[in-house]
Structure 1
């Protein structure tokens, strides 16, 4: 029996997820939450956490919080659950970022009903479950170049607009670091981190960390040591 928790802000959607999964005799819903999964994970033995999000950036935030809490998993009643995320839309880069940050299932909210049971079973078994559009993004990487010369040049031109501190920030964003983690690594306040992130978004003309991270990836620019790391050399 696969023990599953459901996370999502909309009660009707959580009820739908519950109903679809409970129809599968191999799956049991043992927890549900609207905003944060931390209490459910701490008090309930979960194999899989199914979480619903409007965008990939919200899903990334949840995964990053889960990764940050991983060292305390020994205090939980069981193993850290694997994640199946539901999002409204997917891009190639968002798919890549979600997988890099630990998602073991990625589905679109609009057609998740038909895929959820097998995705949960696959994630619990240790493999990857992807919506067809997400799978296509990855397959396409094997049959066409990932970056064209023009795209690389455009991304590098945009990154050249950033100050040295903003470059540190954008690379940490691309690595999935949270705001508090960036503040600690750079030896600055969380408020200052937010100011730098706003500057990065403005100069790169993006709205969120997923879009900013894609420009870093597209530009193929290696990260420089942070100021803190440089001082320690």
Structure 2
């Protein structure tokens, strides 16, 4: 039997935490292992418990961006799903740069949240449609440090994988599109992240948009 996905909720509003817990507790494959009300407490809790997913509010004491950065530093196996009502472009990009994998607004329904937790635990990037649009708009201008030499490290196959990653496609879908095995896709993804010195698929997608690989 597959063990449940272990989740930490980080939000400074008690009622919000209680609401999220009340729903996720009804899902047999999800288990709430802890709650935090600040960036520092979230990071400490994740370091102690090593949950699969941390649900992090963007606006709380210490900040969600800093919470994400500390969680990723102290518990590398924990994926961060930002859950907030905040839509500021700079905050979105900062959260992704800090290591957040997924980003949902609090107007998402309960089933969408549960599905996002499951997919985030599997390493899939989930973005609320409005957030995805804002993120793409925010990163369309090429970055000053996005030099061609970094992209030159990629093989043609790896560039193709990077383009499909930028579309938010899973390894399975990429494998089907390219006509190759899923294990081969995983190898290409690992190579892309290593060569571009990126942490995860979300950062790779942002990189693809910023450098013009994906337009």
How does the TM-score come out when normalised to structure 1? 0.51
> How many equivalent pairs are there?
137
Tell me the CA shift for residue 100 of structure 1. 1.7
Task: State how far apart, in whole Å, the 1-side matches of 2:106 and 2:83 are.
Answer: 5
Return the alpha-carbon distance in structure 1 between the equivalents of residues 92 and 123 of structure 2: 18
Supply the RMSD in Å over aligned alpha carbons: 2.8
Q: Which has the larger radius of gyration?
A: 1
1:63-121 CA-partner distances (Å, limit 9, x unpaired)? 23334x43xx5xxxxx5311111222213333222112111111112336342111111
CA distance in 1, matches of 2:126, 2:106: 14
Matched, 1:118 2:123: no
Q: Could you tell me which residue of structure 1 aligns to residue 51 of structure 2?
A: 46
Q: Does residue 19 of the first structure (1) align with residue 16 of the second (2)?
A: no
Structure 1: tracts of 5 or more residues without a match? 74-78, 148-233
- Pair 1:6-2:3 in alignment: no
State the distance in 2 between where 1:112 and 1:59 align: 21
Query: In the alignment, is the contact (CA less than 8 A) between 1:59 and 1:87 conserved in 2?
Result: no
- SS at 1:129 equivalent: coil
TM-score normalized with structure 2 length: 0.55
How far, CA to CA, are the matches of 2:123 and 2:109 in structure 1? 20
Correspondence for 1:99 among 63, 82, 96: 96
Instruction: Provide the secondary structure at the position in 2 that maps to 1:83.
Output: strand
Q: Which runs of 5+ in 2 are unaligned?
A: 143-215
